[in-house]
Every structure is written in structure tokens, then in C-alpha cells.
Amino acid sequence: MFKVKILTVGKSREIWLKEALEEYEKRLSRILKLEWSIAKDRPQLIDLAKNETALIALDLQGELLSSEDFSQKFTLALIEKGARLTFIIGDADGFPDELLNRSFWRWSLSPLTFTHQMVRLILIEQIYRALEIEKKSGYHR
């Protein structure tokens, strides 16, 4: 079972987001255990990341990838890092430098700025898509 942790700041208040995330978590649950770790502020985010290795920073300045390239890079990283990865979503003030320096991969979803809520949804859908691409399931085409 793969384990993916998502570290982020602030609760998700919207009900629609909760429903959308639950749908993808259910779809993923056979092969990947997703764990959310929600910090109340920036210092707590840094603290929660302290014991994590294999950090991936979701950073506007990071590398832009197609879904196919993300799939390759993500599945390779799962293998190289022992089936456990941690994605970090920064707050509105951008990404804390000390977490950036510890990340082995800086990934940008888009040059557009999204809400943190939407980043959670896009991230989980891309993780699902990445595994479907790997399985050649036809979900992605």
C-alpha cells in the first residue's frame, strides 16, 4: 500500500470540497492510503513537516508538467522513496524557505493562482490520474 500525506494550512470549510475529496479518496483507497495533515498556521506547518522525508513542494515557481510527465515522475518517486511521499501546499504567503530547501521536487500545477481548497482537489485528482495513466486504464486519454 502506497502512503501519501498532504500537509496544508487551514481547514476546508466548503462542503462541496469535502464531497469531492471523499470521492477521489474512495477511488484511491485500494492502492493508496491518503493522509491529510492540516496545520492551523505557518509555524505549525513547518513543525508538522519536521519528521517527514520525501517532501514535494507545490510551489508556483516550481516545474510545470503534463499529466503524463507527472505520472512518470510520481510513480518513480514512490519507488525511489519507499512508497511514501509527502506533498506540501503552502499558504497565501507562499512557500516557507526551509521547507522548499528540504523538498526534492518543486512542482507547479499551473502559472495560475488557485485557492488552497482547489489545489487540494486538483492534487488528489492528478494523483488518481497518475495511477490510472500508469495502469493504462483509459481514464486519461
Q: With beta carbons less than 8 A apart as the criterion, state whether 54 and 81 touch.
A: yes
Binding a second copy (rule: CB under 8 A), the pick from 12, 23, 38, 81 is 23
Q: Yes or no: say if 87 and 120 are a contact pair by the CB < 8 Å rule.
A: no
Cα 25 to Cα 92: distance, rounded to the nearest angstrom: 25
Question: 116-135 and 15-28 helices cross at what angle (nearest 10)?
Answer: 20
Segment interacting with a second copy (CB under 8 A) among 34-42, 80-88, 98-106, 119-127: 119-127
Size of the residue set binding a second copy (CB under 8 A): 28
CB of 78 to a second copy, least distance (A): 18
Interacting residues toward a second copy by CB under 8 A:
14-17, 19-20, 23, 64-67, 70, 92, 109-115, 118, 121-122, 125-126, 129, 140-141
